[in-house]
Structures are given as structure tokens and as C-alpha cells.
């Protein structure tokens, strides 16, 4: 009988055949289940992971990347033709490119989503910004990229009408706009206010708070180093400081003409003035918001801000009950806001009576607020992009 079994149908008999068949079927099922899991994970990863390339063509890009994101750039040399960095934040992988060599069409776009950091402050800059936007539109038509956001250094009088046709809401292709100054069209839906930040075009550094910044007595009650324009409130400020010898208690260096580039000496003086003054006076320029506000925060010197509207179209809307400086006020900035420099002598009198301990507590509060402000702006930027760019965004 045994030989009959062996020769059955000319096939070799295998006593484990059924088990092997079952194992093979089970193995096949496991393989298919794994494949499904991998496919699901991959598609899920694509849903919850974003690659965003930021192209920095305005100095505020460096404030975004180095100060708000705490990102690094290689090479470290600020004069390099091409600098880049990358960072994972939230569900997004960001890469950042900047420098004179980053020009439309001469680099590879490695992400489907692009953020353009543009300068729209004056006509020549707007022409260059429009060139970048046309390039982005071409990339969208050729399906190289899917989504575009813009971070815009806006015009100081908020004349930003030129960008309106590019916005998706007006039939364009730009999904999100983050814009500086109290632009009246900010709606917290697709147009958001963005901080001006520090003057990165003058290489203002990322200042890390340290023990002496917090605890050391400071030699001056206040400082103002800057341009004094004819018939401006800055002239009135200078007059008030000269009364009762208040200018002797403050570090004051006024000049009649604005200088775009600092010398090493003037820049060091400016940083020293911030570091050695309890208060930094922030009179209005063309706009109420100025780099000085953020630079003073960086060194724990409390900004004293002339809280008045400047000419132009900034903040002239019902939403802007807190304008000017809507963004900073909404975020609870612990600054001293004054409507007229005549209020300054009383502020300085109060300052003279404050103990070092009280000043240390105030510095601590200011530095903590500024760190939290930057962290909040970073989170808001990431969340807004993810909400807009990820179809399956769940928060």
C-alpha cells in the first residue's frame, strides 16, 4: 500500500502538504496585510507631512528663519551668495534658501509648497517681487508646485494694492499672505499680520538672554539713537529731553539724516545703548512700528512707544480698534504706550524711583514675553500653512 501512495498520480507524497499550503496562504495574507499597512502608512504620511521651501528675497526672511524659527544657515557668512538651512517643525519639513544667487529659474524647487518672502516697500522692490510671483505661477502651471504663500515686507503706509490680484480670493494663486504693518485687509483667514522684527539687513544678531542682561544695574534711564526729522515728533522729543536735564540721564545720539548701513562702531554703540538703558524711546517714523521695538526687546530694554497713527492706509478698518501695533497689543506686549512725548518726564520720574529688584522683574517679564511672542508666531505660521496646504488637516 505504501508504494501505491508514493506513486499516486506520479506525484511524490508530502505528509505536511496541507500544513504548508495553509502556512503559504497565511504568509500570503500577512504579506498583503503588511503591504496594505505600508501603503496606508505612506499615504497617511503624505497626508500629515508637508515639505515647504521658503525662498528669502527680503531681509524679514532672516527674522522668520533665524529669530522666530531659531534656524541656522550655511555658510554662516552673511555676505555669502547662497545660504541654506532646514528644519522639521510640526508636521512640516522646512528648507530655507536665501542670498543674491537665489534668482527665478536658477535653482531646483524641491518641494510642492513654496513660501516667497518678498519686499514690497517701494516701486523697484515691487517690480522684483512681481517677477518672483510670475515665476511661481509658471511653476504651478507646470505642476512643479501646488501651493504658494507669501510673507511680505509691506509698504510703510500700507499701500499694498499691487499684491491683491495675486491672491486666490481675487482669482489669483497665492493661498496665504503674511504682511507687515497694520494692513487694513488683515482678516485672520488668508491675510495675517506679520511682525516687522529686527533689522536683519544690518545684521542685528539673535540675542540670547543671560544673567547680566537680567540682573546688572543699567547706567541710563533711557536711550534714543536715530534720525531726527524736521518738524517731526522726534524734534519735540529732543526738546522735552533737554528740559530739566533729562538728556543727561539718557543715552541720546541724534542725527539729521537716515543711514541705511551702520559702521561697526555705530552698531556697537547702538547695542550697548540698548543693553545699558532701562527704557528705549520709540518715536514714530514713517510708521509707528519700527525695528527698534523688537531690538529693545532682544536686550531687555522696555520700549516706550509713541502710540499714534501714521499717515496712509494702515489700520483704517473697524477691526483695527487697537491700531496702531494691533499685533503687539493683541499679544499683550508689556510696553509703555504714550500718546504725546509730554508724558515722558512723568515716566522718567517714576523710573528714577524704581528699585533694581523691580527693574529685574520687569526685564524678566519683557524677555519672557518676547520669547513667547516668537514661539507663538512660529506656531501660528506652521499651523496656518498646514491647515491651508494639507487637505486632511486635523489640527
Residue 53 pLDDT > 70: yes
- Angle at alpha carbon of residue 14, lines to 10 and 15, rounded to 5°: 135
Q: Which residues in the chain belong to E strands, given as ranges?
A: 50-56, 83-89, 92-98, 113-119, 147-153, 174-180, 191-194, 220-227, 250-255, 277-282, 302-306, 336-338
Position 2 scores a pLDDT of 42
Question: Is 51-180's fold the same as 204-372's?
Answer: yes
Strand 191-194 with 220-227, pairing: unpaired
Average pLDDT over residues 97-115: 92
329 contacts 307 by C-beta, under 8 angstroms: no
Fold for 51-180, please state it: Rossmann fold (3.40.50)
pLDDT band at 8 (very low <50, low <70, confident <90, very high): very low
Position 255 scores a pLDDT of 76
Regarding predicted confidence, which is higher, 10 or 292?
Answer: 292
Q: What is the pTM of this model?
A: 0.85
Average pLDDT over residues 129-149: 96
Position 323 scores a pLDDT of 80
Give the residue among 215, 178, 167, 363 at the shortest CA–CA distance from 278: 363
Give the percent of the chain with pLDDT over 90.
Answer: 73
Torsion angle defined by CA atoms of residues 94, 97, 102 and 103, in that order, rounded to the nearest 10 degrees: 30
328 contacts 293 by C-beta, under 8 angstroms: yes
pLDDT in tens, 207-259: 999 999 999 999 999 999 988 988 889 999 999 999 888 999 999 998 776 56
Regarding predicted confidence, which is higher, 364 or 23?
Answer: 364
Residue 149 pLDDT > 70: yes
Torsion angle defined by CA atoms of residues 180, 185, 189 and 193, in that order, rounded to the nearest 10 degrees: 20
CA distances from 248 to 36, 85, 113, 245, 267 (A): 76, 45, 54, 6, 21
324 contacts 310 by C-beta, under 8 angstroms: yes
The class (CATH top level) of 204-372 is: alpha beta
DSSP state for residue 64 in the 8-state scheme: I
Residue 147 pLDDT > 60: yes
Residue-averaged pLDDT of the chain:
89
Regarding predicted confidence, which is higher, 36 or 196?
Answer: 196
Domain ranges (residues) in the chain: 51-180, 204-372
Position 329 scores a pLDDT of 95
Position 117 scores a pLDDT of 98
Amino acid at each position: 500500500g505504501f508504494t501505491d501512495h508514493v506513486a499516486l498520480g506520479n506525484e511524490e507524497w508530502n505528509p505536511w502538504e496541507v500544513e504548508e499550503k495553509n502556512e503559504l496562504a497565511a504568509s500570503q495574507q500577512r504579506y498583503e496585510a503588511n503591504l496594505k499597512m505600508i501603503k496606508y502608512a505612506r499615504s497617511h504620511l503624505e497626508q500629515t507631512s508637508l515639505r515647504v521651501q521658503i525662498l528669502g528675497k527680503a531681509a524679514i526672511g532672516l527674522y522668520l528663519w533665524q529669530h522666530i524659527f531659531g534656524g541656522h544657515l550655511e555658510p554662516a557668512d552673511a555676505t555669502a551668495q547662497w545660504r541654506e538651512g532646514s528644519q522639521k517643525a510640526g508636521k512640516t519639513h522646512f528648507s530655507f534658501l536665501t542670498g543674491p544667487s537665489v534668482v527665478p529659474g536658477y535653482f531646483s524647487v524641491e518641494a510642492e509648497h513654496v513660501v516667497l518672502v518678498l519686499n514690497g516697500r517701494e516701486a523697484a522692490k515691487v517690480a522684483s517681487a512681481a517677477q518672483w510671483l510670475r515665476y511661481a505661477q509658471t511653476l504651478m502651471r507646470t505642476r512643479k508646485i501646488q501651493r504658494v504663500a507669501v510673507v511680505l515686507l509691506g509698504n510703510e503706509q500700507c499701500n499694498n494694492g499691487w499684491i491683491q490680484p495675486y491672491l486666490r480670493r481675487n482669482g489669483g494663486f497665492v493661498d496665504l499672505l503674511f504682511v507687515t504693518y497694520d494692513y487694513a485687509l488683515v482678516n485672520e483667514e488668508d491675510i495675517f499680520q506679520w511682525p516687522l522684527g529686527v533689522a536683519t539687513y544690518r545684521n542685528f544678531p539673535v540675542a540670547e538672554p543671560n544673567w547680566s542682561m537680567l540682573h546688572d544695574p543699567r547706567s541710563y534711564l533711557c536711550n534714543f539713537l536715530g534720525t531726527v526729522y524736521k518738524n517731526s515728533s522726534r524734534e519735540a522729543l529732543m526738546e522735552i529731553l533737554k528740559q530739566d536735564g533729562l538728556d543727561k540721564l539718557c543715552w541720546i545720539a541724534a542725527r539729521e539724516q537716515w543711514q541705511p548701513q551702520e559702521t561697526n562702531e555705530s552698531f556697537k554703540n547702538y547695542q550697548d545703548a540698548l543693553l545699558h538703558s532701562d527704557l528705549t524711546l520709540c518715536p514714530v517714523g514713517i510708521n509707528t512700528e519700527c525695528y527698534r521695538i523688537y531690538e529693545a526687546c532682544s536686550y531687555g530694554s522696555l520700549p516706550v512707544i509713541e502710540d499714534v497713527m501714521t499717515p496712509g492706509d494702515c489700520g483704517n478698518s473697524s477691526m483695527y480698534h487697537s491700531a496702531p501695533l494691533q499685533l503687539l497689543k493683541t499679544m499683550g506686549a508689556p510696553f509703555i504706550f504714550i500718546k504725546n512725548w509730554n508724558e515722558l518726564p512723568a515716566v522718567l520720574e517714576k523710573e528714577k524711583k524704581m528699585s533694581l529688584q523691580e527693574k529685574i522683574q520687569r526685564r524678566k517679564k519683557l524677555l519672557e514675553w518676547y520669547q513667547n511672542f516668537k514661539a507663538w508666531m512660529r506656531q501660528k505660521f506652521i499651523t496656518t500653512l498646514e491647515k491651508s496646504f494639507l487637505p486632511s488637516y486635523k489640527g
